[in-house]
Structure 1
Amino acid sequence: MAEMVDIELITIGERLRAVDQDHVAVIADSIRQCGRVLQPITISRKFATRDALRPEMTLLAGAHRLAAAKLAGLDVIPAEIVDDIKPLQAKLIEIDENLLRHELNPLDRAVFLAERKRIYEELHPETKAGVAGAKAKHGSASDTMSFAKDAADRLGFNPRTIERSVKIATSLSPEVRKNLVGTDLSKNQSELLLLAKQEPDAQIKIVELILDQKHGVKSVKAALERTSGKPKVVADTTQAEIKKLMDAWRHSGLTARRTFVRELSAGDRLLLQDLLDMANPDTEEAA
């Protein structure tokens, strides 16, 4: 149940995403009309010591609502209070709040999902790539679901969207991500995916060309053609590996296929099920 909390007592820590002042202004106008904040924020409450007279209040979710309440002149704000929450769990609350409540552009969504993956795997190290299969072979497989499955279930995203977003965030250099904030390129997922396939040095040159309007370069492909004559991507052996797998399967008899499936570890079977779910046409993103 929400409680009314003095705004001046709430501490705002480091956030993954800066507050959008235009959005804050819109919310503030709504607060002035209603006279109050309709949707409670979420804060953590913790006493630094046993003898502390006042607890530390730290914002978990609702940075825009808190900023808008201040702008509207309110002294108190309704808040859902979580006691003694761990730092990683607190960060997950912030991430999920943004992923669920805000219309994030592809770049922001990629950053949030990549950070969510990092935190999830830190909380559940047994779900990291390669670990689940090894544990299963030694009879210690965990029932904890993979990051992609957990995120898809909690956030309602298509697994392919999650996979692509994480690829963007982890493949772009921090400098490039910083330079892309607020640009049209940050709103175009296909452009970001192509950019993410380039070497780090090439990424910097491409972004510089696009952002410097005097060059008249408006796309990653055009920038690649300007700098090298043709698009260059980091060597990708995925297609060759797929061909080998498909050839081996197609040339195997029914008995061999059944034996192969039986020999899969518990971890490999979970991974295979996740891959089959991702390939299901019913869950594909609209073209």
Structure 2
Amino acid sequence: MSAQTIALSQIDASDRLRPVDQLTVDAYAAIAEQRLNEGLSPLIQPIIVRPTGVGYKLISGAHRLEVLRAIGRKDLIVGDDVVIRAESDDGARDSEIFENLADAGLTALDRAIFLAEAKRRYDAKRGEARGRKRKDQQIQFDKIMPETGIIFSERFSKDAAKRIGLSDSQIRESVSIAKALDPEVIPELRGTMIEDNQNELKQLAALDSGHQRKAVAALLGGEVKTVAQARVAIGVDKPKTDDLQARIYADLLDRWSKASNKTKRQFMADVGLVYAEKDEKA
């Protein structure tokens, strides 16, 4: 009996919270090719989809789906490459969120985005649960919701901390960062060192939207290397005297090393000193 397959082209992977990183796909595609050469399934863990009537919607495994595409798979073997699971739109989004939050390789930026979305959905469902409780006292308010496993009698950050191994304060800080970041700067941060630095993200999120955009532009333009430096460069903060003098000194040394003997003699004469020339071009 031949294995059941579905066409990769039937899978809709749109509307994902986390964009696919091509470098990650390339790295895992090489591993998938090696597994195939060894007679194994290309994926260690299959992707999960749900039927939609006109095809399938991806629940989890966007990077794995792109790996299968990269190695030339057109038909996916059910059980090995893909698992089909009946799930609602709501449940599928919860699965996407909490699968990604369990990923050790998730960046600080994406973790903040996923946690903020999880918090938004948690608050909405908690409001619905409260409404149902008022209508029917038999509904237990602290009931564990089957779609998410979230216990609504607990604060979101406390429950999420238990589930993904972060502290309550880390959860709350991540959520606040995601809420404060301007949507326009988020794509610009991907691929930068700031993307996986929660402290840098926190400093950036403390700015208003306009200053966030200016700060990110300064970072991407190479004018500065940190958000703290960007805040000074765009006029939000005043430079510390020590930092300012250190930059002036470094700039003087750099310019001195590039100056000719003639320029150095002129400078030294202007400041009342004598330049001892070295054997170099004037």
Considering the TM-score relative to the shorter chain, is it more than 0.5?
Answer: yes
What TM-score, normalized to structure 1? 0.66
Matched, 1:33 2:40: no
1:199 aligns with 2:205: no
Does structure 1 residue 82 correspond to structure 2 residue 89?
Answer: no
Q: CA deviation at 1:179?
A: 2.2
Q: Which residue of structure 2 lines up, in the alignment, with residue 9 of structure 1?
A: 10
After the TM superposition, which residues 3-152 of structure 1 pair with which residues of structure 2 at under 5 Å, given as runs?
4-35=5-36, 36=41, 37-47=43-53, 56-74=55-73, 75-77=75-77, 78-83=81-86, 85-125=87-127, 142-143=141-142, 144=152, 145-152=154-161
Deviation at 1:102, TM superposition (A): 4.7
Q: CA deviation at 1:199?
A: 2.2
- Decide which structure has greater helix share: 1
Q: Which structure has more RCO (C-alpha within 8 Å, separation ≥ 6)?
A: 1
Counterparts of 2:168 and 2:4, CA distance in 1: 37
Residues 178, 20 of structure 1: alpha-carbon distance in 2 compared, 3 angstrom cutoff: closer
Instruction: Note the C-alpha offset of 1:178.
Output: 2.6
One-letter amino acid of the structure 1 residue matched with residue 120 of structure 2 = R
CA distance in 1, matches of 2:27, 2:237: 46
C-alpha displacement of 1:192: 1.1
**Partner SS for 2:184:** helix
Structure 2 matches for 1:180-195, cutoff 5 A? Answer: 180-195=189-204
- 1:223-276: CA deviation from partner (whole Å, max 9, x where unpaired): 222314439xxxxxxxxxxxxxxxxxxxxxxxxxxxxxxxxxxxxxxxxxxxxx
Q: Distance in 2 between matches of 1:79 and 1:228?
A: 51
Confirm or deny that 1:230 pairs with 2:238: yes
SS of match in other structure, 1:202: helix
Deviation string, structure 1 residues 13-43 (Cα, Å, up to 9, x no partner): 2111221122112222222222222311111
Note the C-alpha offset of 1:169. 0.5
1: CA distance between counterparts of 2:103 and 2:173?
20
Q: 1:199 to 1:10 in 2, by over 3 A?
A: closer
CA contact (8 A) 1:3 1:79 kept: no
Q: Which residue identity is paired with 2:187?
A: K
Q: Is the 8 A contact 1:3 1:80 kept in 2?
A: no
Listed as ranges, the gaps of 5+ residues in structure 2 are 143-151, 240-282
Give, in angstroms, the shift of residue 6 of structure 1: 3.4
Q: Partners in 1 of 2:115 and 2:225 — Cα distance?
A: 27
Q: Distance in 2 between matches of 1:196 and 1:3?
A: 48
- Work out whether residues 76 and 82 of structure 2, in 8 Å CA contact, stay in contact via their aligned partners in 1: no
The C-alpha deviation readout for 1:158-186, integer Å capped at 9, x for no partner, is: 22221111111101111122322222222
1:202-281 alignment, distance < 5 Å: 202-213=211-222, 215=223, 217-226=224-233, 227-230=235-238
Alignment partners' CA distance in 2, 1:169 and 1:117: 11
The alignment partner of 2:83 has SS state of: strand
When Rg is computed on C-alpha atoms for both structures, the one with the higher figure is 2
SS for the counterpart of 1:124 is helix
- Equivalent residue letter for 2:56: M
Return the alpha-carbon distance in structure 2 between the equivalents of residues 71 and 199 of structure 1.
40
Distance 2:230 2:24 in 1: 33
Q: 1:99 to 1:229 in 2, by over 3 A?
A: closer
Q: Report the TM-score, using the length of structure 2 for normalisation.
A: 0.67
* Residue 170 (1) aligns with residue 156 (2): no
Structure 1 residue 44, shift from structure 2 partner: 1.0
| Aligned residue-pair number | 213
RMSD: 2.9
